[in-house]
Amino acid sequence: MTSNTKDGITIRIMTEEDYKNVKVFMDDDFFKSEPLCQASGEDVQRQNEEENDEYHLSMIAQGTCLVALDENNGGRLVGFVLAGAQFPEDVEQHRIEAEAMEQHTWGRICTLLSKIEQEANLFGRFGISKVLYSHITSVDTSMRGKGLGSRLAATLMEVGRSKGFPAMVAYCTSFFSARQKEALGMQCIYSLTYADYKDAEGRPIFTPAAPHTMARVMAIKL
């Protein structure tokens, strides 16, 4: 798949040159709307920024990331997906990395995601040795409710199939992202309610606004 255009919006594979605009978009959009980041009051994008840039660029190099461009508006970036391959050995690697992180919001999110990843046991459950991991999806506020997020996810599934991935997975911290993935045929194989995820003093670590009450692991065989 090189690109597809519908209603003036083109979706194509992300290049390294795109990342500068994607990063600005993340700052303006994703980090302000993702429930756990939004509820923190912290400048989450600046946390572990260098390591995250390196991780995102490694995903882009795999040809598994997408951008959505508004052709009626000078090719303006209106959405993106960062995604990449994950393997069984990554589960332990993510646990080690999360444990070593500073306990700011991003560090706490990575600890949560590592716990979810271990308990969902995706590789054992499906009996597979690699999976396409949909890491971050973001759509411009002006484009929400128009099906662009669904188009991005459906296009990513096509990319996954073309590259021989047996399954795709997304860890949804937002109610809306989980609902969108479910509408595309992805199944919730694990969930963790935020109210039940507590610190040593018994206080919930994350308290995002309703309807974001749980994190879900959404998966589909490709």
- Name the CA dihedral angle for 149, 154, 156, 158, rounded to a multiple of 10 degrees: -160
Predicted confidence at residue 38, as pLDDT, reads: 76
Predicted confidence at residue 33, as pLDDT, reads: 78
Domain range list for the chain: 3-221
Per residue of the chain (222 residues), give pLDDT as tens.
567 989 899 999 999 999 999 999 888 777 777 878 777 777 667 777 788 899 999 999 999 999 999 999 999 999 999 999 999 999 999 999 989 887 888 888 889 999 999 999 999 999 999 999 999 999 998 887 788 999 999 999 999 999 999 999 999 999 999 999 999 999 999 999 999 999 999 999 999 999 999 999 999 999
Q: With contact defined as beta carbons under 8 Å apart, do 95 and 112 qualify? A: no
User: Is 3-221 a domain of CATH 1.10.10.60?
Assistant: no
Q: Environment class of residue 41 by beta-carbon count within 10 Å: exposed (0-12), middle (13-18) or buried (19+)? A: exposed
Predicted confidence at residue 193, as pLDDT, reads: 96
Lookup result for tokens 């997975």: 169
Spatial neighbors of 207 by CB under 8 A, at least 6 apart, are 39, 194
Angstrom distance (rounded) from CA 109 to CA 197: 12
**Rounded to whole angstroms, what are the CA distances from 52 to 63, 94, 195, 201?**
17, 13, 28, 30
- Helix 88-100 / helix 105-120 crossing angle, nearest 10 deg: 150
Tokens at residue 137, please? Answer: 């999806």
Per DSSP, 21 falls in state H
Q: State if pTM tops 0.75.
A: yes
Predicted confidence at residue 1, as pLDDT, reads: 56
Spatial neighbors of 125 by CB under 8 A, at least 6 apart, are 189
**What are the helix and strand counts (H, E) for the chain?**
9, 8
Q: With contact defined as beta carbons under 8 Å apart, do 148 and 9 qualify? A: yes
Q: Give φ, ψ of 128 to 5 degrees.
A: -125, 165
Tokens at residue 1, please? Answer: 């798949």
- Number of Cβ atoms within 10 Å of the Cβ of 129: 9
Q: With contact defined as beta carbons under 8 Å apart, do 32 and 141 qualify? A: no
Predicted confidence at residue 216, as pLDDT, reads: 97
